[in-house]
Structures are given as structure tokens and as C-alpha cells.
Amino acid sequence: MEKLYGWTGKILKMDLTTGEKELLPTREIAEKFIGGRGFTAKFYWDQVKPGTDALSPESPLIIMTGPLAGTPAIAGSRWFISGKSPLLYPDQYGLGSVGGSFGVKLKSAGFDGIIITGRASKPSYIYINDDRVEVKDANDLWGIETYETIRKIRTGLGEKVQVACIGPAGENKVRLAIAMSDNGACGGSGFGAVMGSKNLKAIAVNGSGRVDIAKSEELRKVNQEIHSLIKGKILMDPSLEGIELMKRSPCHGCPGGCPRGLYKHTSGVEEVLKNCQSVYFYNNLDKKYHGGTSSENPFLATSLCNRYGICTQEMGNILRWFVKCIDNNLFTEDETGLPLSKIGSLEFIEALIQKMTTRKGFGDILAQGTVRAAHAAGKGSEKFLKGTVNSSGFNSHAYNPRYFITNAPFYATESTSTMNQLHEVCFPLMKWAMWYATDGAMSPISTEVMQKIAKKFWKNEKAVDFSNYDGKGEVAFIVQNREYAKENLVACDFLYPITTPDGKEDHVGDPTLEGRIFAAVTGLDIDEVGYYVTGERIFNLQRAIQGREGRIGRKDDKLDEFNFTEGIEVEEGFFGMFNPEFMLPGPGGELISRKGAVVERDKFEKMMDEYYAVRGWDVKTGLQKKEKLESLSLSEIIPEMERLKLLAK
């Protein structure tokens, strides 16, 4: 490439211990690794040794944007915070996907990303103002909550400054601490604790530059097409008691297709929320405590987590495990110092967050995250992890494969969050469930439309036959490649791929949009297949990272045992509300019920045979092959893979 379009051309690397700064050229890796997830995986492979402690000074904090951020491309402003996750078990490669405007401002300052190593000698924050980078004193910010931190920094540096910061939880290295940014945006996987371990309270960015794009007219046409497709998109606001929508508050460059908005609580608290399951982490316990009636407290529980800098998704996991332990009389109020009789009340969640954040008493155990907490607490509490989280600590029941068998390979092959892959399969099925539950009154996405979507996006209409395992391995291959390609950009998971557009008569979307946007922004000559190869390359690189960190091939590509032995009877959230009988399309469009179903072990193994074969890996061992890595232009990792015996013979 003679000129870079979409990329700024440089990445800032700095060591907080020595104060040294270095500029890494993007040009050498841009076309191959694209950005976002691809850049994080590339730098992680190059710089992070397998035995590195996630909270050690040498463990890098890796922040990467994609080529779409800072351009007119719709919904492409997200960014990744990444490195060795202290939340996953054991410490391993992890990522947090973040929205808002921070990534756009970083590109405006002239950087595609930041890599931070070392540890500051005192509480500090980084201020980037175009090409001026300085480390500033953060003693006056240490100990205060996230929103107040952002307000104080902007008071000093100007309202245009974008901030990513931690709260008290990150300062105290709580393993489920998040990095919080503007507009309710946050990044999980424990990277708030990584920032805290570096004495890094915040990163503040301002910039005056612009990102050049290659084909502005072509991008304008694709944007117009997207606007016409999403016309009339239904916004599903958080169904929490006691809140009022004040205004829509989309991320930078987004038409507002998701229900992210500023909501006001009856207490006067105002906060940006998005209609995601993490908003509802306290709803069920609140409803149970109040005798089946919801109160106004779940909003305040979510607000507390955001202000202290705690991941609500992981808090939901902890509470599901902890309540099972309490129901089985494993822990007492005296042992925990918590009002266990008031679980579900505002008093309980306030006490829990306070103890976790300050790491006092039993709170120090819970601050380690669900898996580590169970191991530390003992008393047989580990057995109650079943059905709550998998072995690495990721939620084990969302869009469960007993219900949606297509999702089984995602759970089996990923050690970190599979949510974007689960969404690609289940978002259109949500609209199908609304069609089914209301006889078409609330959604036009019928079984016939779902079959057409499946044929266009997943190559075969049988992809939505949930009675049959055949072909599902290839569906998983297609979905993973597309989702990784999307996260290289980094494009919004809520908007892309556009599978069920309201603005098209047949309601069947277009899988080529993201690749066309990428080509228009960067000027690269890439077709739909080539675009998917960019995702396949990074998936294979991540597979190599997993192998180097001890997750090796087929022997570790497992589903939790309960999926094979315990029929699914309860589904939380949307599908439980609209489809309590677990109805799904079956053979030839005939409807079937998955209620009480399990994943059939022999059919799962055959599905994985198909998956490994289409991936070009060894079917027997699930190990990658040298020729596959060479075909994906990953020859540079082969010597290390051979040394570690991670390649098929």
C-alpha cells in the first residue's frame, strides 16, 4: 500500500516504569491483521509469554481500534481493551469490546492503538493530545468513582477529551473490574484490574486530526444502503422499573439502532444504559425478594457497579453461584459479613459491592471472580459452578446449546466470550420467536424467512433445522470467520451482520455489507470471501495462542457435562418470556420443541468432526496443520508451534 487509508499509521507503546515511549508502524501489519481483534492477537502473540501473571508490570495492556473508527462508516467506532485477562481462569488471553467515542478520539490523535507496560511509581493517568503524550499525577483522582473521574478530568482538560478510567474496584485489583468510558461504555474481562496493577487511573485523549478514506463516494452509497435496510428498526428499551428515557445516546457514528440511552431513575440518578442482559443482573433476585413484584432497585444496582467499576455480567455469574451456595447452607451471615436474608434488596447489593471493592473479609474472596471464589471458599462450593460458568469462567448458559445446537462448537472451541457468535445465530431467532408467539403481529420473520436467511448467510436453509446436527459444523466455521472479520474492523455487534432488515420487503439481509465498507474505507481490493479469510486468519492465530497457554486441540474442546445429561427446562431472558416451550424450526420448517432436550454426545462429536475438517485442522486431534497456517499467511508462528508440538503430524 502506497498510502494508508483507514489507519493512522502508528501505534503508541509506552512503559510506565521507565517512561520510555516508542512508535510502532501500522503499515507492516495493517493489511494482514486489519485492526481490533486482529491487532490485539498479533501483539499478544509477539509480546506475552505463557507464564506471565496478568497483574504483573510486564503484562501489557493492549488497546486497539479498527480501520473504520473516525471515518463516516456506520457503527464502526468500537475498540478493544485486551491482554492477559485476570478474570478468566487461569490467566489467559482475553478481550473487552468497548463502545462510545474513545476509539474515535484516539484515531483523531493519530494512533491506531496503545500498548502499555510497566507500573507507574504513583497513581497516574496518561494524557494524549495529538502527538503530545504525558503521564500526569492522579493522586487527586485515586479512590473516586468512574463518572466523577471522567468529570474531573474533563474539567481540567476540556469537554472534548475522551476518557477511559477505572473506579475503586480496579484500583484494588478486583478481578472483575472494568474500564469505564463515556456514554456508559465499558470493557470487561478484568482489564480494570490490569490498569489498577499499573497504578493507571485513566487514559485521556484529545485529537484534532482526521482519518483519510480511499473511496468516499462508495462509502456514502453503502451507508445509504444500510440506512434504507435498518429503517423502522424496533428499539427495545430496558424493562426496568422506575426509569424514564431522557434521550437516545448512541455511540459515535451510529444511527441509534440500539436502545442505548440516558435514563433517569425516580431517585434522580441519571445513567446511560443499553438493553443488554448485563443490565438485568439483579432483576430476578429483586423480584424474588419482593414477592414476585419488581422494584426500582435493579437500576441502582447496575449504577453502583458502573460507578465502582465492576462488571455486571460477572456479578451476575457470582450471584447465581453464591445464591446456590446460600440455598444449600454453605455460608452464614457471620462468615460472610453480609445480610444474606436480604439477598435481592438494595441493602444487600450495596453491602456486597462495598466489601468486594475494598476486598474486606468475604468480599476479598468474591473479588477474585466466580471460579476463583469457588476454589477459595471451599466447602464443596465448586460443584455449584455447574450451569453457571464454564471452566474458564465464561457464562455457560446464555443461548445454551441444548436449546440452539448450532452454538455448541462456539462454546467448545472458545475460552473467552462467544457472545458475538451466539448473537449472529440467535438475534434473528429472537424476531422469529416474536413472530411465533404473536402469530406474526410483532414480527415478519417467519420460518420461511429464517430459511432464506440461513441459505444466504450460512449456505444452507437446514442451518435453522434444530432437530438435525448435520451441517452445523460448517455453520460454526462460517459464523466464527465472519464474526472475527467484523471484530477486526471493529464494527458493532448489535448492528452487524444485518440479517433481518425491516427496510427490505423480503426481510432478508446482506452479508456483504461489512466487507464492502472495509474495501471503501481502505481501498483494498477484497471480495466477500477474502474478507472472511481475514477473520479465519485471526481465529487461527487465537487458536495458536490458546494452545501455547495450555488449551490444546480436541481434548480441550469440550462442553460442560450438564449439556449432555440434564434436559433444558428453564431459559432466562427474552426466549424464556416469548417462547417458554422452547419451540424452534425443525425439518422442512415443521416446528419442534427443544424443552427437556440435551446435546446428544455422539452427534456432537460428529459435528466437531465436520467442524475440524472444514477448518482444515486434524480431525482426530483438533490440532492445526502447518499447511493451513501457511495458506493463511501465518508462517511466522509455525516454528514456535512446532517447538511446542502444537501442530498435527
Model confidence over 628-647: pLDDT tens digits? Answer: 999 999 999 999 999 999 99
Burial of residue 253 (number of CB atoms within 10 Å: 0-12, 13-18, 19+): buried
pLDDT (average), residues 365-389: 96
- Average pLDDT on 172-192 reads 95
Residue 235 and residue 256: Cα distance in Å, rounded?
Answer: 9
At 236, is the pLDDT very low, low, confident or very high (cuts 50, 70, 90)? low
Percent of the chain with pLDDT strictly greater than 90: 88
> What whole-number distance in Å separates Cα of residue 75 and Cα of residue 211?
16
> Domain 405-619, what architecture?
Orthogonal Bundle (1.10)
Supply the pLDDT for residue 60.
98
Query: Would you place residue 232 in the very low, low, confident or very high pLDDT band (cuts 50, 70, 90)?
Result: low
Strand partners, 272: 262
Judged by DSSP in three states, 434 sits in helix
pTM recorded for the entire structure? 0.96
Q: How far apart are CA 340 and CA 319, in angstroms?
A: 12
Tell me which of 244-253, 370-379, 505-514, 603-612 is least confident: 244-253
CA–CA gap between residue 245 and residue 237 (Å, rounded): 9
User: How far, in Å, CA of 622 to CA of 608, rounded?
Assistant: 9
Mean pLDDT of all residues in 339-365: 97
Q: What is the DSSP letter of 624?
A: B
Q: What is the pLDDT of residue 251?
A: 83
Question: Of all helices (H) and strands (E), which one includes residue 37?
Answer: helix 36-47
C-alpha cell at 600: 446428544
580-611 burial code (b ≥16 CB/10 A, e <16): eebbbbbeeeeeeebbebbbeeeebeebbebb
Query: For the chain, what are the domain ranges?
Result: 10-206, 243-385, 405-619
Question: What is the distance between the terminal CA atoms of the chain, rounded to a whole angstrom?
Answer: 37
Partners of residue 132 on adjacent β-strands: 129
Among 235, 245, 104, CA closest to 182 = 104
pLDDT in tens, 415-448: 888 999 999 999 999 999 999 999 999 999 999 9
Burial class (CB in 10 A: 0-12, 13-18, 19+), 550: exposed
Can you read off the three cell numbers belonging to residue 39?
491487532
pLDDT at 213: 97
- Give residue for cell 422442512: 588
C-alpha cell at 150: 471522567
pLDDT score, position 233: 55
DSSP type of residue 261: E
Q: Which of the 8 DSSP states describes residue 647?
A: B
Extract the C-alpha cell encoding 400.
445454551
Distance CA 115, CA 161 (A): 20
Plot region of 544 (φ>0 → left; ψ -120 to 50 → alpha; else → beta): alpha
Domain 10-206 has CATH 3.30.1330.20: no
3-state DSSP call for residue 83?
strand
Do the Cβ atoms of 120 and 19 come closer than 8 Å?
no
Cell of residue 356, nine digits? 468486594
Q: Helix/strand/coil (H, E, C) string of 158-197?
A: CCCCEEEECCHHHHCCCCCECEECHHHCEECCCHHHHHHH
Class assignment of domain 243-385? mainly alpha
Integer Cα distance of 420 and 401 in angstroms: 15
Q: By CB neighbour count within 10 A (0-12 exposed, 13-18 middle, 19+ buried), where does 18 fall?
A: exposed
CA nearest neighbour of 203 among 252, 251, 153, 168: 153
Q: What's the pLDDT score for residue 261?
A: 83
Q: Name the percent of the chain lying above pLDDT 70.
A: 98
